[in-house]
Amino acid sequence: MRQDSLALGAGPLTIEAVVAVARQRRTVTLAPQVAPRIAAARAVVERLAGAEVPVYGLTTGLGAGVDTRLTADDLIAFQHRAVPARAVGVGPRLPTDILRALMLVRAAGYAAGGSGASPSMLQALVAALNAGFHPLVPSKGSIGADDLAPLAHLGRALLGDPEAEAEVGGDILPADTALARAGLTPPVLGLKDGHAVVVANALSVGQGCLVLEDARVALDALDAAAALSCEGFRAQLEPLDPRVQQARPAPGQAQAAARLRALLAGSALEQPGAARRLQDPLSFRCLAPVHGAVRVTLEAAREPVAIELNAAADNPLVVAEAGTGEDAGEGMLHNGNFDMTALVLRFEALGQALAQAATMAAHRTMKLMSPTVSDLPRFLTPQGQSRTGFATVQKTIAALEAEIRHLALPASLGVLPVADGIEDHASMAPAVVAKTGEIVERLRWLTAIELTAAAQAVDLRGPLVLGAGTGTVYAFVRGLVATLDEDRSLGPDFERLERAIAAGKLQQAVAAIA
């Protein structure tokens, strides 16, 4: 279904819009109010440059070079040097969806008017997005005090540096050739334009949008897997009773319990005496409190991202409106609005919350394989212990769960001072956002494994009356993964199911139910 263009600057930019531009190639236009906003900010830049007052990155150097005044005939040349000098990134190139999110977020920053950049810089970014011009940008090199290195590599390609590379139509070409192939021309750098290319946290914020969307989809799938495990385990549903939630209204718990009850509605487990045990292991019994807490943490992480998407966080900030009293007068204000601590703390918490849910999923899956706890054949094989069944899958589960716990450890508590000690604090935002995304990826693998094991448990338990939601989940799994009878390679099954989860297909299948 064709999407209308996103009118950048017409209203608040949303996480969902970033995802659509990044992954569905939604086109972008500029709202009418953007041009006068940028023109007003540009006039302030030009006036201050002519007045020869000290302004960071305009009439002075950058970083520790703030104490160096630029001569009048060096103002433009300095902007040309600023971009390649910061193209110091290394490592794997950013995937296209993350790159497109980065490009859109930087364009939104330009459109907010606080950068004072030339209109051509914003127009070049929007045109590149719409033309599918994708610079090759290394993923490593930013500490989260502006994503200087990734943005510098982006800027080199947009400016047509023949030593930079970009992808157009599936071909990787020198940037100048790629621009010509896409029908684009490089913008001409003016005052402050080189600095404005790099002075933003567009990688951290853009990738953050994608991670939040992926986490939401993954948690919906995890709810479905947990509910199907309850069916296969023949779990006690009393912990989901609304009266239990009312007795202790912990954050998100009632909502999580309601989602699980909706998935299980109509199951034979709702009948008195259907559960096998009076009290189940905590990985079953504590589903509502843990999944509820994770959802609340996910929602909390959206707040700083939404703020960053619609902020003018450049340093210095161009103020083009007159104001009153102490705020009177236009100008350029030096600031620390680029600091990402608020966002980073929320993403660190999200990673730890996801780790809690992942560990529970691993425990549930292991419990299904244990005859001592589940009363099912060991390792869920119907052919007896001459077969392996799911035995070696436990190693994959253990590896994934250990990696998730490792990734959940804080990465933001310290960073080496840089710029001759002037920049002695940084949030490590790109690393924190990226590792949260890696946690989500591994959680999807664990969820695919749990779904497969839970469906196997349902089969081994014999004919069962499943809930409306769990029946849909079971059918979804069996549409992709056959029951395990004789031993086979299960890795491809997990891969198939994980791809379907990532694409939101399981979420769509149960959306009308829970």
- Token output for 502: 């990532």
Could you tell me the CA-to-CA distances from 231 to 237, 268, 390 in Å, in that order? 10, 9, 18
* Residue 168 region by backbone torsions, left for phi larger than 0, else alpha for psi between -120 and 50, else beta: beta
* Nearest in space to 116 (alpha carbons), one of 328, 338, 315: 315
Q: Give per-residue pLDDT as tens, 245-280.
A: 999 999 999 999 999 999 999 999 999 999 999 999
Q: Where in the chain is the domain with CATH 1.10.275.10?
A: 6-200
Asked if residues 164 and 153 have their Cβ atoms less than 8 Å apart, the reply is yes
**CA trace torsion 191, 196, 198, 200 (10° rounding):** 160
CATH architecture of 217-303+336-510: Up-down Bundle (1.20)
Mean pLDDT, rounded, of the chain? 95
- pLDDT for the residue 392: 98
Over the stretch 141-179, which tens digit does the pLDDT of each residue have?
999 988 999 999 999 999 999 999 999 999 999 999 999
Of the listed ranges 168-182, 230-244, 314-328, the one predicted with least confidence: 314-328
What are the pLDDT digits (tens) for 363-401?
A: 999 999 999 999 999 999 999 999 999 999 999 999 999
Q: Report the distance separating Cα 141 and Cα 164, nearest Å.
A: 17
CA dist., res. 90 & res. 488, Å (int): 40
Per DSSP, the three-state class of 140 is strand
CATH 1.20.200.10 boundaries in the chain: 217-303+336-510
Please check the confidence at residue 328 and state whether its pLDDT lies above 60: no
Handedness of CA 168, 173, 174, 180 (dihedral sign): negative
What is the homologous superfamily of the domain 6-200 according to CATH? Answer: Fumarase/aspartase (N-terminal domain) (1.10.275.10)
User: What six digits make up the tokens of 105?
Assistant: 């977020």
Q: Look at 3 and 310; give whichever has higher pLDDT.
A: 310
| Separation of alpha carbons 108 and 138, rounded Å | 22
pLDDT for the residue numbered 325: 47
SS3 374: helix
